[in-house]
Amino acid sequence: MTTPPEAGPSSGLTLEERKARAIHLPDIPKEDIVIPGLLFALGAMTGCIRGGRMAGLRFAAENTHRAPTTMEGWYFYQKTKNYRVILGSIKGGAWRGLQLGGLGCLYVGWRDVGQYAGMKEWADILAGVGSGVVVSAVYRMPRRQVYQMMVLGAGFGLTTSLGRKFQVWMKEHVGEVK
């Protein structure tokens, strides 16, 4: 909640008046932020590892015909290779993080569409299947892989749905889960 400057604590307004003038953000469910955030973090980590490894291999392949012959040349070679690996790691992490974060946003969007359409129990599975179809269309996968992506998405949606049901069950039987 953000308060405009003219309604700050020293404005002479009461607490109720300040709360009435405050700017309120819409109530966004926690998992609508957590799912894309976690997928972005997972993508960034895997992208950093893969991007760094690929950049190191690319540098080695590009420079095999001119290997350094002096000690100073080897130091310069390793230093340059390390910089290229770091840059490749950052690029790969950013790209893969954006890909998986976007997939998480797509999943959350499909789930919200399913809930809006009245499919409370099936919204997660719809989101998984819909995300699988969109990813298959973007990458122009063959029909067999489209089916595999749909099954994979349905499995992810079912897992998410069961996790949410388990969390509700734990709240009812054990107490507040934080």
pLDDT at residue 70, rounded to an integer: 93
Tokens of 111: 């789930």
DSSP string of 35-88?
HHHHHHHHHHHHHHHHHHHHHHHHHHHHTGGG---SHHHHHHHHHHHHHHHHHH
To 5 degrees, how large is the angle CA 100–CA 98–CA 116?
60
Angle CA(32)–CA(136)–CA(55) in degrees, nearest 5? 85
Q: How many alpha carbons fall within 13 Å on the CB side of residue 116?
A: 7
At 177 the pLDDT is 55
Q: What is the pLDDT of residue 43?
A: 97
> Can you tell me the distance from the alpha carbon of 150 to that of 131, in angstroms, rounded to the nearest whole number?
8
Q: Contact at 8 Å (CB) between 81 and 60?
A: yes
What is the predicted pLDDT for the residue at 18? 77
For the segment 106-157, what is each residue's pLDDT rounded down to a tens digit?
999 999 999 999 988 899 999 999 999 999 999 999 999 999 999 999 999 9
CA distances from 25 to 2, 18, 22, 28, 150 (A): 9, 15, 10, 8, 35
pLDDT attached to residue 97: 98
| Blockwise average pLDDT, block size 10, the chain, 178 residues | 56 77 79 92 98 96 90 94 97 97 94 91 92 94 95 94 90 74
